[in-house]
Every structure is written in structure tokens, then in C-alpha cells.
Amino acid sequence: VFTARAVIGIDPSLNGTAVSMYQPGSVDCEMVLISLKSRKGLSESKKMMQIYTFFKAPPTADYFIEGMAFGVKYFHSSAAMIQGVIRVTIAASGLSVINLVPPTTLKMFVTGSGLSKKEDMKLWVYKLWGQEFKTNDEVDAYALMMLGRYYLGHTDLPELSEKRKECLTKITQYV
């Protein structure tokens, strides 16, 4: 059921956390540069405080956040901390709904394959919605926001294939 609430996609990342927010009539994508690689002199706690400061007064919305990739190659404790700070801060507002989207589900929703590469995501976001972004984080945040709009039943969007509709069943609410 469509509501007038904002729909926000968040891609928490070690390189930068991207946020894409839908309000009826406009779509904005904003990069929040909380980079663990480029800020070597900044302590872990200060990095987490920057994330907290950005999200401490979140708008009432339905949030769609990319979940963690737990493979040995991709898992990093700092990424888990970023994810946790974002979720707890938004949940503490008590006004919003947080939905977790597994990375493979997001890839499947956008490209048709859960094993897609970053370049494929960029290409398919452009093919499906005509949007181009500089960073992979922005691409993922926009795709999460669009997935959220479909999940919530927004009626002003093109019809989904059955394969893409199935992806919507793999979203987990976190409260």
C-alpha cells in the first residue's frame, strides 16, 4: 500500500555511505564521505560519530539498507560497525521502518543475477531507470530506493518481471 512517507536507500560502505531519498516528485542522491581508507588519522570512534551525526535525526521514512556480505573476502568489522550505527540510530527514532536487503538480492533485482559485478549494476540502473552516478555506492543506494518503492507498492512505476517480484520476498524488516 502506497504511503506518502519518504523511501530511503542506504548503501553503507567502507569507502563512502550513499543515501538516496525519494519524496513524491523528486529523487536525490547524496554521498556521505565516511571513508575508512582516506581518513587514516581519524579514530574508529570518530568515524562512527560522523555516521551517527548524519543519521541522528532521520526523517520518518521506510529505509532500505543493503545488508552485510559475510563472505571471508568481503567481511570487515568496521563495515559491521557502520551498519550497526546506522540501524540503531534510525531505529532509536521510533518513527521509521528499516528493511534489510541482502546484497545478492539487490543484484538479482537490478541485473537478473545475484553474482553481478559493479559495472553491471551501473549499466542496469541506467537501462531500467535512466540514472547515472559517479560511484558504485550511489548506484546501490539508488537501486535500494527503487526496490523499496516497488516493495511498498508505488503505482507510478513500470511493471516488474516475475523474477524481480520474487526478490521483494527476500527483504527482512529490522526494528
Split at pLDDT 50, 70, 90, the class of 1 is very low
Say if CB 12 and CB 65 are below 8 A apart: yes
pLDDT > 70 fraction of the chain, expressed in percent and rounded? 75
Split at pLDDT 50, 70, 90, the class of 47 is low
| CA distance from start to end of the chain | 19
pTM (predicted TM-score): 0.84
| Torsion over CA: 71, 72, 77, 79 (sign) | negative
Residue 43: predicted pLDDT: 63
Res 175 pLDDT > 50: yes
More confident residue, 175 or 91: 91
More confident residue, 136 or 37: 136
Report pLDDT digits (tens) over 96-142: 888 999 999 999 999 999 999 999 999 999 999 999 988 898 899 99
More confident residue, 78 or 130: 130
